[in-house]
Amino acid sequence: MVLIGRMVFEVEKTDRDIDTAFALHTMVRYGRITRYHLYEDSYAVAKAYFDD
């Protein structure tokens, strides 16, 4: 199963906003999630947390 969406949130540590698309790839067996992979713009997330 693949879910595609958009995350919008504020990083309180730096008071910066993140607005990024994501894809979530999961495998479900017998009603339970057996694998979980999140694909996002990790550079944008890291920049919002740590960039000076």
Say which residue the tokens 């495998």 belong to: 27
Query: CA end-to-end span of the chain, whole Å?
Result: 37
Convert the pLDDT of each residue in 18-39 to its tens digit. 999 999 999 999 999 999 999 9
Query: What pLDDT shows up at residue 51?
Result: 72
Residue 52 pLDDT: 67
Cα separation, 12 vs 21, in Å, equals 20
Q: What are the domain boundaries of the chain?
A: 2-50
The answer to whether the CB of 29 falls within 8 A of the CB of 21 is: no
* Tokens linked to 35: 């694998």
- The mean pLDDT value for 4-30 works out to 93
51 vs 2, more confident: 2
pTM here is 0.68
